[in-house]
Amino acid sequence: MATFNSWYYSWAPSVAYSTATNPWAYRAVQVTVIPLIGILYASYYTYALTAPFNAEAGTIMAGVVAAALIGLVYLAPVAYLTTRIIRKRFTITRLTLSPTIVWFTASIALCAIAYATTSQTILATGTSSLVLSTLSLASLLGTRALAYVQLPITNYANITLLLKRFTRTFP
């Protein structure tokens, strides 16, 4: 939490001040925060279910759930659209999950080592790595799921139409 708090409070107050004075930014933040509230509830309930058995495991599980859902909800659509645009311009191969799975597994092992040795330094490194690897893995899996579904939003005309509708909601 100390690592997260130092990162979050390094930028959040200035963003909050900027959005309070700009109606476009205020609406954009409002639309993006609603899914985050649901993600935080899911994380809270994960902790509430696992903490009675082991508080440290509950905290780690809550972080993994939050990171996975953030990766799916926020990063996967952006990654999917980015790969679609890049593939229209360049020939690229399919993204592989193997390095991310190895990173995720190594992060879990690092957390286990930190728990066994009670090392705060290893724990901070391991949990930060676990959150980042979970974000990456969820984003890649979400991108694959979106590619499998083949959403019509990837048509450039549909994206332009959605952007026009979105901008009409602002004064």
The residue among 169 and 52 whose pLDDT is bigger is: 52
What pLDDT, on the 0 to 100 scale, is given for residue 170? 47
pLDDT averaged over the chain? 83
% pLDDT > 70, the chain: 84
Q: For residue 41, what pLDDT is reported?
A: 93
**pLDDT value at residue 103:** 93
Tens-place pLDDT, residues 61-70? 999 999 999 9
- Yes or no: say if 58 and 51 are a contact pair by the CB < 8 Å rule: yes
Domain layout of the chain by residue ranges: 2-168
pLDDT by residue (tens digit) across 107-125?
A: 999 989 998 998 889 988 9
Instruction: Say what the pLDDT of residue 49 is.
Output: 94
- What is the DSSP secondary-structure string of 62-120? HHHHHHHHHIIIIIHHHHHHHHHHHHHHS--PPPPSHHHHHHHHHHHHHHHHHHHHT-H
Tokens for 51, please give them.
Answer: 């903490």
